[in-house]
Structure 1
Amino acid sequence: MDIRRAAAATIIAVFAYIALFHYPLVRGLELTNLLFYMDVWPTFIAAVGYSTAYLTSTRLNTNLGKPWSRYIGFGAAAALIFYWHLPANSFFGYGVCPADLNNPILYQLKRISYFIVGVLIYFAAKDFNKPWREALAIAFGKVMGWYGFYLTLVTEPLYVAPPVIFSLQLHHEAGAAMILSMIALDFLAAASLINHLFKDKKATPYPLTTS
């Protein structure tokens, strides 16, 4: 088993362990920590979906969809992420975040949606060459960073669905963490791009001039 398969299997195993044996802890963090509820745990679920799609695809040697379908996949994934970030009663009354914490059906639907997001991203991104993957990661980071910046500036809580009320401080902390995540994502993407561009280049000495 190569390192990527091992990593994918580990992500799935860790998720199963946490979901089976530490669910009360997860639930408590979702109810009390906006960043964990809105980004950390959903991202982990999406990683499980991505890992599942990767292992299934490599095992069955499948290549689903046409080249143009990758754009539909990215669009659908972006739409799902956007929707589940809408504050409750926003967007013409269709926003639900964090009302899903009070509704078992919405609660499970959100988690299934993020699993699907991971699957969609895998099949949409697998045929992109390396520079485009990094460009997409940077673009995603910018959206996250700007929204995080917005959260640091709000003067009243956005994510409120009684009895679940995330404080203004939690909004600011989540926003700051999203900005830091954007910076980290930019750094990793830039490092990957530099490695891709120069990994096959032979080192040559800098030409010296003599007078």
Structure 2
Amino acid sequence: MSEILIQALRETFQMLWVSTLLTAVGGLLVGVLLVLTDRGGLLPCTPVNRVLGLIVNIGRSLPFIILMVAILPFTRAVIGTTIGTTAAIVPLVVGAIPFYARLAETSLREVDPAVVSASRAMGASRRQIVWKVLLREARPGLVAGLTVTVIALIGYSAMAGAVGGGGLGDLAIRYGYQRFETDIMIACVVVLIVLVQLIQMLGDLLVRRLSHR
């Protein structure tokens, strides 16, 4: 059991770190664009803002298991297959980017407008305001949002096992459910709980350090 559990954990980590990296970049980019293109933003553009908002809302409204099946043709076009750990990364990223984008948008909107106005009054460019004011001041909220997103990705990765995505979810379904091997099911649950706790503790630690003034 230890060998197959280690292999499943390795596959879960592979899905997590790749999807987390892509989600952090893509979600943050979309979140910044939502703030910049909003009315009163640095680059106000209502049509772009509404289209982005609509895409994000659609992505967040679909249950992950349905989204994963719905984009199978896209996954096959990108990866060349719809089965395996690498193929599972595609729906993980597609499902998590809208989720993190809203969290990032919320954190960026919590930055004191007076700080942004003061930066503009001192002649700072839009790029400087984004990098040195918005993103810098919103770091605690961005990290907290990313922590929540990573924990959601753990749940998504477990569901990916339902369609042959590998990882702990696949192990729990094939052995714990289909073969009625309760000990493997319990082991998978315990590992997932420990993994979530560790990520939450690390995220809370980073948030506290970034919150120091």
Higher RCO structure (Cα 8 Å, ≥6 apart): 2
TM-score by length of 1: 0.28
TM-score by length of 2: 0.28
Structure with more helix by fraction: 2
